[in-house]
Each structure stands twice: as C-alpha cells, then as structure tokens.
Amino acid sequence: MSACEYRPGLEGIPAKESGIGFVDGKQGILEYRGIRIEELAAKSSFVETTFLLIWGYLPTFEELEAFATEIQYHRRLKYRIRDMMKCFPETGHPMDALQSCAAALGLFYSRRALDDPAYIRAAVVRLLAKIPTMVAAFQMMRQGNDPIRPRDDLDYSSNFLYMLNEQIPDPLAAQIFDICLMLHAEHTINASTFSAMVTASTLTDPYAVIASAVGTLAGPLHGGANEEVLLMLKEIGSVDRVEAYVDERMQQKQKQKFMGFGHRVYKVKDPRAVVLQQLAEQLFDKFGGDEYYDIALKLEAVMADRLGGKGIYPNVDFYSGLVYRKLGIPADLFTPVFAIARVAGWLAHWKEQLNANRIFRPTQIYTGDHEITYIPLEKRTTTPEKRAVPGDYERYRSTIG
Ligand code: ACO
C-alpha cells in the first residue's frame, strides 16, 4: 500500500498499538487482555473485567473490593446535575441526555492533571460510577418522577436495574445483565473508541473524551443498531413474513442495511452474539418466551442463506435488544446501556493513549480546485454551472422553496 492510498472508513489501517483487546474476525475470537470473552462471561464480573481492561491484570481480592467500594461511593449525582437534567425535554433521546451529562461532569471536576495517577483513578471511578446513575435518572425524570437514589448494598448491575424500576431485580436477571455489560465492555478501535482516542490525544479532560465517544456510539451504524433491530423485528411482524421481507428489501433500488447484521471485522457470527443468544434463551426459560425471538431466528437463517456468502452474520446488536427487552429495559435505553459498558473500554484506551500520546492529525487527498477567482456577490448567478457536489445546489434550493 502506498502512503497516500485512500481507504474509505480507514479500513485495515492501524491507528495505534494496543494491548487491550484482540479480535479475530475470521475465527470469531474476542479477547480482553488475552482472555477469551466466553471465559470472562462465565467467570468474571463487569467491575472485575473493567479493572482488567483498564489496569491490564486481574485484581487481587483486596484490589477488587477496594475498586468496587470506590465506585459504589461515587454513584450519586450532584444536585446541580440532576437540576440540569430536569430541564431536558422528556422527548429527547437518552443518548443525547447522556452525552450532555458526561460533558457536564467536566464543569464540576475541572482540575486536569493527566500525569497524576490519582487523578486518572478518580476520573475512572467517577465515570464508571455516575454514568449508570445518569441513564437511570433520565429514565425516571422523563416519566415525571424523581430519580431513585443508588443503593450501597447492591452490586453494580443490580443497582442499575434497581434505579430503573425501584425494584430489586431477580438475581438471574442481574447476573445476565452483568454478563451483557462484560460482552460490550471493549472492542478495539471501533468508531466510538477511535473518537475517544482522537479526543484524548488533544490532552483534554476525560469527561470530554467520554462525551465524544457517547455521541459517536449513538449512530445507527454503530451502537444505535440494537434499538433499530427491535423496530425491524416489529416491522416484520411474524415468522412467515421473514423471507418476503428480506427479499423485498434486497430488491429495493435504494439498498437498506439489515440492522444487527454485518461487521467491518467479523466475517462470521460475532462471538458476543453467540453468548447473547444463550442469555436470551436462559431468560425466556425462566420468565417466558418472546414472540420476536422466533422472528429473529428465522431472520438469521434467511440472512445466512442470502448474504452469508458475503460474510454478513449477526453482530453484537442483533440479540442484545431481545435480552434487554426481557429485562424490562425500554428500547431507547439499549444504546445507553451499551455506553455504560463501553465506558470501560473507552477509559482503558484513554489511559493507554496518555501513556504514548501523539495528537491525531491524519492527512487527506484534496479533490477541490485551486486558484479560483472570488466573484463579488452582485455578479454571482443563481445557477452556477459548476458545483462541488453534483445535485447539492438543487437539494439546497428545494429546502428554501
Ligand atoms: N445488510 C445488508 N448488506 C450489508 C450489511 C447489512 N447489515 N452490512 C454490510 N452489507 C453489505 C453492503 O451493502 C456492502 O455490499 P456491496 O459490497 O455489494 O456494496 C458490503 O456488505 C460491505 O458493507 P459496508 O457497509 O461497506 O461494510 P462496512 O465494514 O463499512 O460496515 C457495518 C460495517 C457498518 C457494521 C455494516 O455492516 C452495517 O451497516 N450494518 C448494519 C448496522 C449495524 O448492525 N451496526 C452495528 C455494528 S456492531 C457495532 O457497531 C456495535
């Protein structure tokens, strides 16, 4: 590859050296610090996995206790943040609310000491502790209720589910939710992590880093796909409609993607989707089935037939929504829940970036003109022959009537 070859979406271009996560897209392998995700899902907890990702090793019993206690201690939100949230429109998307709240933390904790390990640890703890409280508080407030105070006697995941419903969750539900957080905690240089790294590389504060990543995760091609999957399953409506739905959609001139399918790296079924599907089944066994699951199974089979040859299989977002739905989490909180988990990976990459920082400043291939003469306003025509993007002028005019 020549130094100047342009790769849309930076496909295949290494953006950093990292020891945090590893993905093998052909074999469907995901590791955090060298440990397979399936093993962590079976044996670890989200708080322990977060420690592993950020500090690079499995903590001792004492270290884990200390870390969990610190997070527990910092769960509450300042009343000014709660007051700010009360002014948010209840119709706003929870990801927008979360991005605003994450950024607002920078106003309250404005000291920036990126070379001080105590500052790094405090920021890590604060973000891990407060992001779930923010998500739950917005959920309560948009329904006209006061936020539920976090409970110190509950672990990380149980406490979040408690703050959402003011009900102590069933232990299996809390355990499954905790595994979901582990599965979503890290995934190398995806769009939101890259966004976090670019922001981190300017040496700004960690709250700006996380706010930037939350905004990036929100899009439907990234974390926002989990919410869209449920809308798609709803639109399909029944198992016998699946084949026709897929075929009709594939024949459309303006091709639309199938949400929850495909991945830049995985060309097989995403290993996280495999575990999430098992978790969904465990929940259905205990709490009853879900009509959408049968549609999802059929959709996976039809898609394998139609697009499997192109390496398009379910990604992490395909089954996560079904798990969250069974846990009673509203669809527009699926992506904020993803963010709660991914804060771990973002913070790990933030810390790694600080250890070997150089500001991101890629290059571009200029495709515009040179030496263009400035035309005075009164001499400009309304329909210039040459436009930077064909059709853009017409589209712009159509919006102003
Ligand atoms: N449905 C139908 N076709 C697809 C899909 C899909 N979900 N994904 C990829 N393709 C096709 C494209 O149409 C394209 O076909 P072509 O070569 O004939 O034009 C080919 O596969 C390559 O697709 P790209 O969009 O170029 O692949 P890219 O690596 O850029 O995108 C992405 C990956 C964004 C995840 C894509 O697969 C997609 O849009 N999926 C749906 C959204 C989604 O589920 N996002 C969540 C991803 S996981 C995460 O971010 C947490």
Q: Report which ligand 1 atom has the smallest distance to the Cα of 222.
A: 50
H or E, element range at 30: strand 29-32
Residue 178's pLDDT is: 98
- State mean pLDDT over 84-91: 96
246-274: per-residue pLDDT in tens?
999 999 978 889 999 999 999 999 999 99
- State mean pLDDT over 222-236: 93
Residue type at position 93:
H
With 60 as the cut, is the pLDDT of residue 1 above it?
Answer: no
How far from the centroid of its chain's Cα atoms is residue 346's Cα? 10
- Residue of the nearest CA to atom 35 in ligand 1? 263
Distance 192 CA to ligand 1 centre (A): 16
Pocket flag, ligand 1, residue 183 (CB < 6 Å): no
Q: How far is CA 249 from CA 189, 246, 302, in A?
A: 31, 5, 13
Which string of DSSP letters, residue by residue, matches 344-390? HHHHHHHHHHHHT-----------S-SSPPPPPGGG--SS-S--SST
Q: What does the CA dihedral 337, 342, 346, 348 come to, rounded to 10 degrees?
A: 130
Distance 77 CA to ligand 1 centre (A): 38
Pocket flag, ligand 1, residue 196 (CB < 6 Å): no
Domain boundaries of the chain, sorted by first residue: 8-224+329-355, 239-324, 372-401
Residue 261 is given by DSSP the state: B
Average pLDDT of the chain, as a whole number = 94
- Residue of the nearest CA to atom 36 in ligand 1? 262
Residue 3's pLDDT is: 55
Find out whether 171 and 155 touch, Cβ atoms under 8 Å. no
Find out whether 211 and 99 touch, Cβ atoms under 8 Å. yes
- State mean pLDDT over 302-306: 96
CB crowding 8-35: b at 16 or more within 10 Å, else e: eeeeeeeebebebbbbeeeebebbbbeb
**Residue whose CB lies within 8 A of the most ligand 1 atoms, among 246, 252, 263, 267, for a mutation test:** 263
* Catalytic, out of 263, 270, 294, 349: 263
pLDDT band at 397 (very low <50, low <70, confident <90, very high): confident
Distance 308 CA to ligand 1 centre (A): 12
6-31: per-residue pLDDT in tens?
999 999 999 999 999 999 999 999 99
Q: Which CATH number fits domain 239-324: 1.10.260.40, 2.60.120.1440, 1.10.150.20, 1.10.230.10?
A: 1.10.230.10
Residue with tokens 């300042």: 78
How far from the centroid of its chain's Cα atoms is residue 101's Cα? 16
Pocket flag, ligand 1, residue 221 (CB < 6 Å): yes
Residue 115's pLDDT is: 93
* Catalytic, out of 317, 332, 369, 370: 317
Distance 311 CA to ligand 1 centre (A): 10
With 60 as the cut, is the pLDDT of residue 341 above it?
Answer: yes
Find out whether 217 and 339 touch, Cβ atoms under 8 Å. yes
User: What's domain 8-224+329-355's superfamily in CATH?
Assistant: Citrate Synthase, domain 1 (1.10.580.10)
Whole-structure pTM over 0.75, yes or no? yes
Distance 261 CA to ligand 1 centre (A): 7
Helices (H), 57-170: 61-73, 79-86, 94-108, 117-141, 156-165
Residue 401, beta-bridge partner list:
none
Structure tokens at 214: 């939350």
What percent of the chain is predicted at pLDDT more than 70? Answer: 96
- State mean pLDDT over 309-330: 96
DSSP helix/strand/coil, 32: strand
- Residue of the nearest CA to atom 16 in ligand 1? 310
Pocket flag, ligand 1, residue 189 (CB < 6 Å): no
- Residue of the nearest CA to atom 47 in ligand 1? 222
With 80 as the cut, is the pLDDT of residue 132 above it?
Answer: yes
DSSP helix/strand/coil, 85: helix
Helices (H), 288-370: 291-307, 316-326, 334-355
**Residue whose CB lies within 8 A of the most ligand 1 atoms, among 13, 188, 312, 316, for a mutation test:** 312
180-200: per-residue pLDDT in tens?
999 999 999 999 999 999 999
What percent of the chain is predicted at pLDDT more than 90? Answer: 88
- Confirm whether 317 is a catalytic residue: yes
Distance 262 CA to ligand 1 centre (A): 5
